[in-house]
Amino acid sequence: MKQMIVHCTQHMTRMALLENGKLVEYAAERDQQQGLVGSYYKARVINVLPGMQAAFVDIGQKKNAFLYVDDVLHPHLEKQPAVKPSIETLLQPGQDIVVQVRKEPRGGKGARVTTHYTLPGRWIVFMPFAEYVGVSKKINRESERNRLKGIGERLRREEEGIIMRTVSEDQPQEAVEGDLAFLRSQWDHISRRALSSEVPALLHSDLSIVQRFIRDAFNPERDELVLDSAKAAKEAEVFLGDMAPGGYKPVGLYNGKESIFTAYGVQEQLHRGFARKIMLEGGATLIWDEAEALTVIDVNTAQYTGGASLEETVTRTNLLAAEEIGRLIRLRDTGGIIIIDFIDMEQEAHRRMVTDCLERVISKDRTKTHILGWTRLGLLEMTRKKARHDSTGFVPAICPCCGGTGKSGNWHE
């Protein structure tokens, strides 16, 4: 069973997703600072850089947004020219365009934007100009894939594109049709605002953090939603009523004296899950080090001695680690390149067991993730897409003396 626990304060909303009592996702959002990803802007091209095949566009943020040539070409790969054109032939300084944010600003970089527009719904993702129907790769039955593709082809207009989401499996055509009608009306609203707005202008904001998680990770009929704010609970009920008109499990309002995160065991799991050193069952440990685009995870047996032989002990430790790493990557929303230094195993079959275990856990993650395989040094490589900031409101403060390294820069003889 899933539980979605929402803690609301005056300036921040924090959301925790539990699966059978175990914390698997966490996110936070400051009031009045809703994430940019998914939002639409009427923008103006400021600079076009042929050497980078990119342009900078003004969307009204502190930093100009970055628009790459691939995000200007037709969203359907088969409709793109055989030879990629220069971005100078596609965009000119001073030109006004509608863009959607793909990645939030990070470090000294502005947001990354695209003209490959998408509007996610409950059952589908609507793409106004993609001209194709796709089906989630997580739907395995060929007969169901063909059925959903047929529904999409019947419903879409000539220029439109539709992706059938994983949750659309076994859903009737009427449900998909209702979702599509709602998303078309959203796109019409964005288009009308674009015609009448001055540059730069926000045309459409993505949903709030609570609404996003209800839409993407919540089954209204089975899962439990508990909030500690009467206002937020009422807003959630309205959203659920629109999303699941057939009925949903009642929204819970928490009125306890201690924090809702403490009462549901979220706070304790957050402290453990975001630590640099993570203890596993039996005494093994993970050491988790993150740079801007690279995360390194080191697995150690430490005090774990659970096997009859060294190879068995190492394999059991690595399987425990793979299970936890898959959960923590999702919880911490780790993105970029991920290198896992599992303990060396002699048998290829054991390495396959560890990879299969990690793939099974990661299959529950909605964010695109690729396990690339083992390197010659015995490291496991993987990548994970990341669009949003780190989990605002929990990331530990970095020590001003050592910068998080645990080592002082003041050396004495």
Is residue 129 within 8 Å of residue 159, measured between CB atoms? yes
DSSP letters, 261-292, are: HHHTTHHHHHHHHTSSEEEPGGG-EEEEEE-S
- Residue 38, token pair as written in the block: 């998914």
Which pLDDT belongs to residue 357?
96
Is residue 337 within 8 Å of residue 383, measured between CB atoms? yes
Report CA-CA distances (Å) from 388 to 102, 160, 291, 335.
Answer: 9, 27, 16, 9
**Nearest partner of 34 among 191, 201, 212, 260, judged by Cα:** 212
Q: Which residues contact 412 (CB under 8 A, 6 or more apart)?
A: none
Sign of the dihedral defined by the CA atoms of residues 53, 55, 61, 62, in that order = positive
- Does pTM top 0.85 for this prediction? no
Mean pLDDT of 365-371: 89
Please measure the distance between the N-terminal and C-terminal CA atoms of the chain and give it in whole angstroms.
59
pLDDT digits 0-9 by tens, 157-180:
999 999 999 989 999 999 899 899
Q: Which residues contact 246 (CB under 8 A, 6 or more apart)?
A: none
Mean pLDDT of 151-157: 95
Mean pLDDT of 314-343: 93
Is residue 133 within 8 Å of residue 152, measured between CB atoms? yes
pLDDT over 50 at 392, yes or no: no
Which pLDDT belongs to residue 30?
79
pLDDT over 70 at 396, yes or no: no
pLDDT digits 0-9 by tens, 280-327:
887 889 999 998 789 999 998 766 555 567 888 889 899 999 999 999
- Residue 287, token pair as written in the block: 């050491």
Q: SS in 3 state form for 162-207? A: EEECHHHCCCCHHHHHHHHHHHHHHHHHHHHHHHHCCCCEEEECCC
- Residue 221, token pair as written in the block: 């009929």
Mean pLDDT of 244-264: 89
Which pLDDT belongs to residue 412?
44
Q: What percent of the chain has pLDDT over 90?
A: 65
Which pLDDT belongs to residue 413?
39
- Provide the pLDDT confidence category of residue 397 given band limits of 50, 70 and 90: low
CA 351 to chain centre: 28
Neighbour-count burial of 108, counting CB atoms closer than 10 A to its CB (0-12 exposed, 13-18 middle, 19+ buried): exposed
Is residue 413 within 8 Å of residue 130, measured between CB atoms? no
- Provide the pLDDT confidence category of residue 191 given band limits of 50, 70 and 90: very high
In angstroms, the CA 302 to CA 304 distance is 6
Mean pLDDT of 328-342: 94
Q: Which residues contact 42 (CB under 8 A, 6 or more apart)?
A: 96, 97, 98, 193, 194, 197, 198, 199, 200, 201, 203
In angstroms, the CA 133 to CA 127 distance is 10
Q: What angle, rounded to 10 degrees, do the helices at 348-362 and 310-332 form? A: 20
